[in-house]
Structure 1
């Protein structure tokens, strides 16, 4: 896979972070320098706040820095999956493909950072390990793995909803004498599979994207699958110049429509039940959506795909029929056909040539439900059916989603209570933004917000802008602290659970419910009411004086004096 050229300004060997005040006191700390963290930095600067961004990686980019595996690409169209806050940025950046690949998205993020001069406030190769709220000073004290400590009035966790790789839980991995790579921690240097015997463990979105690319190079490829995914065709292609120009001309209204939409993408909503249509009509609708190549195209055909099991079964069988039409071996086609969960209750995948790959003579599929992995050996992978000799193992085993990146930091709030203790039975917060007992600690794309059920660039801008407006409100009114009330937090958790219960999501073991991580509380982790409804909930709370929150000025001085 080609790599983006790193310009001198983005050379990861140089940390250009501007030091904060001499005593390491700043107004705000942002944790993470991906799409969320960079936009949050931009907006906090507009408030005049001294801000430092801590980034564990060698460079900015977040998800698009870490996930550089072969075939990595966005599953939302490029011209939708981008910032909307700057009309000038919209017009000057040229996307090359319908669905941008990782190197191009990373170049875009570098361009944004350079255009808005964001790098100087980013401290690279610095992981926040602990954040402790000081009840006497009403500030947060953050410790890092470099030994640097910083105190700040505000902390924004922009650590991403899919950024902590899940332990594959396979014994013996360290004993393997070949190479082991995780899709979420891919090496910066090119990895060659030429002439090698390769295994991919996992068939979620990263595995689906990597498999066809690796198969095109490897001498042999064995895919170890526990649960087959619903894989939809991306229909990716280069964007024509005239097409880009037309889209750019319509950007102002399109961006407004994105913000008003349910999921951050613009489409005509369905108007009827799948069960109201006969089989011929349904099949035609599904065929049209299949050919369009949209992640949620099939979900958008009818109103009840995600709420009615019988309606869902019609589209699930349609996808299985398409798998059978592509995969020539009937037994392999059946193993690739999902039958244990409704369509789209686990995130569907967009793929290019995924099912076709299994027609190649050097590609094999191992069904781990029939022949589970016993361990990794020095020579390869041993299942209950025998040993597979290998040169390379690729782990595409997923993430500790939504809560993992926050709980990876030892966060200690009021009264010495840790966030891990507060979330022992599942995440608790108000509006997905602030947890009670952790004042001035905000989260972008965290649990109990729409996040992963939406085009996250639109969700990022909505949440960052709400957080920024909230901090601005505090400053204008001589206030220094905001905290969620326990009652509002409880009500929000109940509301999120009730919305999820109206769908087919909660009954399925998935990373949406935390079921992929042993011991993780079983809770549906996202707000399923739509980004449009969520935006109104947030706007109403702010408009009504931040209902559900306690705003105070506990004996502290304004930030403007603090910085003098």
Structure 2
């Protein structure tokens, strides 16, 4: 029996609640580090995760082609130099199996597994106003009585699995990419359909195209894409990036995106030829740098957005050539601009559509009506017969992981109901009306979308740990963001976000992929460094606006 299963089954649920100082939901990048910190502060802490081992995103997303699009040497914990340097990456953008091994390395090195309950889903949490504590229930019958409830559930961990009528009638295999089967899946010779061409769909499509019998790709919204350059790392390359540990530790928390690079040039100060030279140089880097460190004006000024969008369009068109493919796969700058959607990195993705066994199916004007036993039926009645259907259909981002739990705050209010009307937080870590609930990777913080996740999640968990430590030192047991503090943050967030073109563009960044979801830019767009500064200022003020008792 492996360690993960041992952890999941190590004790039977008790009739009496287990009393804790803090319960952490999630054992991914945020949850693991949060557990490590709070244990060092002397708290009795338990983490709970539905998975059978650590990893979060890198446990669930094991589909073919899943890999980093942050450089491996920056997607790391930076609180311990030895922890950083004792792990060596094999390439610039490693794949999921290697990333999962790294997560296991962290768990083993920090001895985290004894305090993680695996294979367990938190189903409900209710705040007791008289006692100032949370009562938490799981699907296995566990009950926890905890002072702090800390959500480290992940920003993209609520997959949209049941998207079409009739999915249960399909005679073949059907699953979401975030629920890829753990057992080996033989696709050789199979008729496979992929629904969706976001970042995940693109990774799957480019990886399986030469392995399946037939591949049908159901396309609605074309995506701007950037080619990935992924060199291997030998001893010299590893030595070089490890030598930069101090530089990265100082730099990453203060850039716009938490990546190592940042915006440095002003569009208006350069000639057209100079702008083109900058774009060509950055494009050749084979990373997300064109999006996150070329010209910040692309997020605010339509003429700049259009010019950069046309630059990327030109690169894509040159690779596709076929007018029908260009129409299907290359975005129109009139529809949305480069960078206002999530930008995928890819490896020969566009060339996949030149293969004889790959058929793009436009569902832009002829949408999927239902899944039938034979495959997928479109609105015009066309049936595409398939053996396997892969749903790369996205997530209820930012808010979905928490609203799928029945969380009751003061006065019986529920987070699901509150966020169904208006998605609000204070600093992306607290919600008014929910005392002692602290959250990471949540709406109105950079980690909801626009960040190298390890950079932002380290900052948020460290901030939470400092707040808890401050309370304990002051003899306080209950904290809550005041309505005024939350409103101030929402107004600042909205003022910042609504100045961008992101706010005017339909995407999961604003929740438009979920019918009825309140529209708000989910991620803080003021930049990672600015966000950190504002969080530090709040702490430096003695947490003014955070009510404590």
Q: TM-score, normalised by structure 1?
A: 0.94
1:87 aligns with 2:87: no
From 108, 129, 146, the equivalent of 1:152 is: 146
1:296 pairs with 2:292: no
Residue 446 (structure 1) aligned with residue 439 (structure 2): no
Between the aligned partners of 1:40 and 1:443, the Cα distance in structure 2 is 11
SS of residue matched to 1:433: coil
SS of alignment partner, residue 358 of structure 1: helix
Distance of 2:18 and 2:365 partners within structure 1? 57
The equivalent of 1:365 in structure 2 is: 360
Which secondary structure state, in structure 2, belongs to the residue aligned with residue 509 of structure 1? Answer: coil
Q: In structure 1, which of residues 466, 469, 472 is the aligned counterpart of residue 466 of structure 2?
A: 469
Please say if 1:47 is aligned against 2:47.
no
Gap runs ≥5 in structure 1: 1-7, 553-564
Q: Distance in 2 between matches of 1:268 and 1:36?
A: 24
User: Does structure 1 residue 544 correspond to structure 2 residue 541?
Assistant: yes
| CA deviation after TM superposition for structure 1 residue 367, in Å | 1.3
Give yes or no for contact 1:412–1:418 (8 Å, CA) kept in 2: yes
Which residue of 382, 385, 389 maps to 2:385?
389
Aligned length: 544
2:499 counterpart of 1:513: no
Q: What corresponds to 1:182 in structure 2?
A: 176
Q: Tell me, what secondary structure is at the counterpart of 1:223? A: strand
Q: Which residue of 1 aligns with 2:453?
A: 456
C-alpha RMSD over aligned residues: 1.7
**1:283 matched to which residue of 2?**
276
Matching of residues 146-225 of structure 1 within 5 Å: 146-225=140-219
Farther-moved stretch of structure 1 (56-65 vs 383-392)? 383-392
Shift, 1:12, TM fit? 3.1
Matches of 1:421 and 1:343, distance apart in 2: 34
8 Å contact from structure 1 (residues 449, 527) kept in 2 = yes
Superposed, which structure 2 residues align to 1:344-423 within 5 Å?
A: 344-383=339-378, 384=380, 386-423=382-419
Aligned to 1:560: none
| Contact 2:375/2:383, CA 8 A, preserved across alignment | yes
Matches within 5 A, 1:516-535: 516-535=513-532
Offset from partner CA, 1:104-127 (integer Å, 9 cap, x none): 111001010001100000011111
Unpaired runs of at least 5, structure 2: none
- Alignment of 1:427 with 2:423, yes or no, is yes
Aligned-partner SS, 2:548? strand
1:273-293 deviation digits (Å, cap 9, x = unpaired): 1x5544433332222222101
Measured in 2, the distance between the counterparts of 1:268 and 1:51 equals: 37
Structure-2 residue corresponding to 1:556: none
Residues 13 and 58 of structure 1 are in contact (CA less than 8 Å); yes or no, is this contact kept in structure 2? no
Which moves more between the two structures, 411-420 or 280-289? 280-289
Deviation of 1:269 (Å) = 2.5
TM-score by length of 2: 0.96
- Provide the C-alpha distance between the structure 1 equivalents of 2:262 and 2:408, rounded to a whole number of angstroms: 45
Match of 2:331 in 1: 338
| In 2, Cα distance between equivalents of 1:12 and 1:208 | 33
Q: Specify the SS of the correspondent of 2:504.
A: coil
Distance (Å, rounded) in 2 between the aligned partners of 1:381 and 1:279? 47
Cα deviations by residue, 1:124-165 (Å, 9 ceiling, x for unpaired): 111111100011111100011111110000110000000001
2:245 maps to 1:248: no
Matched-pair contact (CA < 8 Å) for 2:8–2:120: no
Instruction: State the secondary structure of the residue aligned to 1:301.
Output: coil
How many angstroms apart in 1 are the aligned matches of 2:538 and 2:320?
52
**Correspondence for 2:19:** 25
Measure the CA separation in 2 of the matches of 1:516 and 1:221.
25
Q: Decide whether the 8 Å contact of 1:286 with 1:298 is kept in 2.
A: no
Contact 2:436 2:480 in 1 (8 A): yes
Q: Deviation of residue 14 (structure 1)? A: 4.8
Q: Spell out, residue by residue over 1:229-268, the C-alpha distance to the aligned partner (whole angstroms, 9 max, x if none).
A: 1111111121132111011112112111112222111225
Secondary structure of 2:337's aligned partner: coil
What's the CA shift for 1:55?
0.5
2:235 paired with 1:235: no
Deviation at 1:300, TM superposition (A): 2.1
Offset at residue 181 of structure 1 (A): 2.0
Contact 1:18 1:121 (C-alpha < 8 Å) held by counterparts: no
